[in-house]
Chains A and B, each alone.
Chain A
Amino acid sequence: MNLNDYLKHFQVSEEIIRQTMKEALSKGGDYCDIYFQHSIAEYIGLEDNSVNRAYSNIDRGVGIRVLNGNQTGYSFSEIITGEAMKKAAKTAANIAKHNKEFKRVSFQEHFPANYYPIKRSWETVGVDEKIPYLQQINEKAFALDKRIIKVNISFTNSTTYILFTNSEGRITYDYQPMGQISVSCIAEQNGQKEQNSFNLSGRYGIEFFTPENIERLAREAVESTVALFEAGKPEPGEMEVVLSAGSSGILLHEAIGHGMEADFNRKEISIFADKIGKKVAEDFVTIVDDGTNPQVRGSINIDDEGNDTEKTVLVENGIMKSYLHDRLSAQHYKVKSTGSGRRESFRFAPLPRMRNTYMLPGPHKREEIIRSVKKGIIAETFTNGQVMIGGGDFTFYVKSGYLIENGKITMPIKDINIIGNGPEVLKNITMVADDFKMTEGGWTCGKEGQGVPVSMGLPTVKVSKINVGGV
């Protein structure tokens, strides 16, 4: 699709946009942008062996933002007509209170990258075509282990069209696909029940769900569930913690990622305020936040302020390098935006957000790391995490893992929370392996009431000391 297709898709013209901008800046605002969005989301679900439910959602609208220094005026309309947009623009304009002449904008098309090409649009894939995937996974899951008593599967996909334009004359667009299959199992053994799940998610088309991936969805969900029958809890307290390669990247997301979002630093409420250029971790620690990984869930061709996305280095060889910037914070720090301005939908103004946050491989071997642990745990899978931005306390919930005793993996463990302090834990990363893996799961990050898709990754890492919940 080209610019004309997007203008047609939203039934707007450059002239309507220009008129809206004139209204938005009529009270003297410095800058305005207009964000058109159209999303189509679908879900089908399997429960008790049948695909007996489907949901769909259509969301369409336009958001208008006016900046006046650091101040934001925001309004939106679900009806995309010149008249409705003008009304919303008038509301957003009120953040400014002086007279300034509106300069006629001439638009320059900005061509976005293409990090997530797909073979077939989700809009051409019918419910009937998706149903067999769920039925196959269901059959495989029950066949794999007699202890499985319930299997729940969901298939969700979405397509989002975005058209962005601002008073500096930029006009650009994006087409964002997403596909996800999630499998949840309940198993029973001698009256004891356990539940676990597995999912694959990314900016994929239906071609991603190959026979191999379908097989893996069933197998990983079943195996991770029945493994919990043997699981117990560690003793409570501080101990060595090994994070397995992959979704353990949640450590970075919570311990450092949020603290590096520049709005928190601009407001001086992050524990990482004033840390740029300082040594925060060992030399072998390099952490990036990247919007360019092909087909990965947190990737974006442009951010929601029309800027190119990039691979931003947060920490390089242990030195803190850069925050994640949107337009407002870039303006404050007098730097270029890192293409991190994101929003949940046209209903919200953008904020600096993470994309795919990960650590580059280090010098150690996974086996060497496990051997080095006297008494601790290795964490394998996670459900959720969060952080106090200023205090620096962050947590993440370990769904499954193992005890490590005298360098050997022993008893499985489940359902424990880990809590630590961001800067301290960064310092305490004492080993980093060479086995980097990006998580494949469907993570969504929440901030100020806005959810955005993200991903993360990590090689196997050792943290020398952190608080583990236990009994």
Chain B
Amino acid sequence: MTIQEKEALAQFIIDQAKKHGADEIALSLANDRGVEIQFRDGEIEQLHEAQQSGLAMQIYVNHKYSSHSTNDLDRKSLERFIEQAVLSTKYLTPDKYRSLPDPKLYPKDLNRNLQLFDRSFDKIETSKRLEMVQQVYEAAKNQSDKIISVAAGYSDGIMNSLRVHSNGFSGIKESTIYTIGAEVTVRDGNARPEDWYYVQSRFINDLPDLKQIGIKAAQGALGKIGQKKVKSGAYSMLVENRAAGRLISMLLSPLSAAAIQQKSSYLEGMLNQQIASEKLTIVDDPFIPKGFSSRLYDGRGIAAKKRTIIEKGILKTYYVDDYYGRKLGMEINGGSSSNLIFETGEKSFDEMIKSLNKGIWITGFNGGNSNSTTGDFSFGISGFLIENGEVVQPVNEMNISGNAKDLWKKLAELGNDSYKWSSRHVPSLLFEDIVFSGM
């Protein structure tokens, strides 16, 4: 669909919804396409091509709210769909906090270029994609004869969406994404440990050296040969930047206004209080060029802004969307996170390893969960045992458990090695005195 076609369809949808009795409507018309290649055993295992589009809309009928989506964009089908949507909304209980955002919250400037769209996307041939994924495959495969299997993968996508609100907002987003990496399995007696390494970028030319990706995936798996659990007890815990996402999610979920209003946040009432070590400063920055969560407005059309979430361990703000913000009487700042930028420390990753007397370097979390109401958590881990600054052996089949309230106060140091391949620019994190469950 061209932009003009989308705009015409948006108007049709708004007119239909109003005709059937909706007071306000917000909608997004999006389409994307892309190619995915899985390469294994020296040949293409799967070549997958996708092209799709869809409508998502939120409607308000006398402060009754509902949300609907469909991929059947035929006008006749849409007419029925919208009529049905409005009709079913009429049965709901009115909720005075339900309405479109105040137009004052919409962005003033939609021209800022966040560099999310690679114009060369349509010039990429399947042969080029295949060549790239093959490079990753070969580099991994050649690392060792202990390798049983290498599955290299490449995918790309080009996305375009139009968002329109009936009270005066309209915005267009265009972006591209490229993902490439490999999963490697190695022989270790009866076991076949595996590891992966994947990177992503907005522009094809920003992907790093493809050989290094394959080598990293293979080295990760080879490093696990001989893994076993060690004694239960307290250790320093060094979480490698790539693995830290799990802990960040645990930190974010209790920060939403929905969690605060629904009493399911252990951080309720903690604004401007110390919730973490003073080493921790996190800024949510939606304007990073080429960022994976960069944006000018969020899923409610609300203007993005830079927000300091935690400053020297003090909680500075919650994520407040318009609905729960109204319900709580809090200032609305957009309900979801964008790019998270962690203030980094001085030491390199190697220097951090060297500084450990008795520690566990975590390369990945394996299962587990956390409870945002109480802060309780428990995760499985794999990684390496470190003694006197040296790597002793790979470890697995161990757990860490505790409460997030205590965990973040035990954060002793952050590395200088911010992770580049995600919207969370987090460096490696060192925590002191963490209880591991092992033998």
Contacts and interface: CB of A to CB of B under 8 A. Distances in A.
Interface of A: 44, 47, 50-61, 70-78, 91-92, 94-95, 126-128, 131, 149-150, 152, 186, 188, 193-195, 233, 236-238, 267-271, 273, 347, 349, 383-386, 388-397, 414-421, 423, 467-471
B81 interface: yes
B369 A383 contact: yes
Contacts of A233: 401
Secondary structure type dominating chain B contacts? strand
Given A51-B93, A149-B263, A419-B366, A390 B47 contact: no
B312 interface: no
Nearest to A130: B91
Contacts of B439: 237-238
Contact of B367 (A70, A77, A384): A384
Contacts of B367: 384-386, 394-397, 417, 419
B399 interface: yes
Closest 9 CB pairs of A and B: A395-B367, A236-B437, A469-B399, A390-B192, A50-B93, A417-B378, A415-B376, A469-B401, A195-B373
A128 B91 contact: yes
B377 A415 contact: yes
A397 B371 CA distance: 11
B64 A52 contact: yes
Given A128-B91, A467-B229, 15 more contacts: A52-B94, A55-B68, A56-B84, A71-B44, A75-B49, A127-B91, A236-B436, A271-B190, A390-B191, A391-B382, A415-B371, A417-B368, A419-B399, A470-B401, A471-B401
Interface string B262-276: 111010000000000
Interface stretch (B20-28, B69-77, B200-208): B69-77
Contacts of A188: 263
A58 B263 contact: no
B113 interface: no
Interface string B138-171: 0000000000110100000000000000000000
15 contacts: A52-B64, A52-B95, A54-B92, A57-B69, A58-B81, A127-B92, A131-B92, A195-B373, A237-B232, A347-B50, A390-B194, A393-B397, A397-B368, A417-B379, A470-B401
A58 B71 contact: yes
A421 B397 contact: yes
Contact of A74 (B49, B88, B192): B49
Nearest to B58: A55
Nearest to A56: B68
Contacts of B65: 52-54
Q: Chain A's interface: helix, strand, loop or mixed, by majority? A: strand
B396 interface: yes
A414 B52 CA distance: 43
Given A268-B192, A467-B229, A52 B373 contact: no
A236 B193 CA distance: 25
Given A53-B66, A58-B81, A268-B148, A70 B92 contact: no
A267 B150 CA distance: 10
A61 B54 CA distance: 12
Contacts of B377: 415
Given A237-B437, A267-B40, A469-B437, A388 B264 contact: no
Task: Give chain B's interface residue range (CB within 8 Å of chain A).
Answer: 35 or more
Contacts of A72: 45-48
Interface of B: 40, 43-53, 64-72, 81, 84-85, 88-89, 91-95, 98, 148-149, 151, 185, 190-194, 224, 227, 229, 232, 262-264, 266, 366-371, 373-374, 376-380, 382, 396-402, 435-439
B46 A52 contact: no
A390 B148 CA distance: 10
Residue among A54, A76, A385 having the largest count of chain B Cβ atoms under 10 Å: A54
A58 B69 contact: yes
A161 to B, nearest CB: 13
A273 to B, nearest CB: 7
A360 B437 CA distance: 32
Contacts of A92: 49
Contacts of B193: 388, 390-391
B194 A269 contact: yes
Contacts of A395: 366-368, 380, 399
B262 A95 contact: no
A102 B400 CA distance: 59
A393 B363 CA distance: 15
Contacts of B149: 267-269
A96 B193 CA distance: 33
Given A237-B437, A391-B194, A150 B264 contact: yes
Contacts of B438: 236-237, 467
A383 B376 CA distance: 14
A302 B438 CA distance: 44
Contact of B396 (A126, A391, A470): A391
Contacts of A95: 44, 47
B401 to A, nearest CB: 4
A179 B266 CA distance: 32
Contacts of A396: 367
A74 B437 contact: no
Given A75-B49, A195-B371, A126 B92 contact: no
A388 B148 CA distance: 15
A388 to B, nearest CB: 6
Given A195-B373, A419-B367, A73 B380 contact: no
Q: Which of A91, A237, A419 has most B Cβ within 10 Å?
A: A419
A186 B95 contact: no
Nearest to A94: B47
Contacts of B151: 267
Contact of A388 (B64, B366, B399): B366
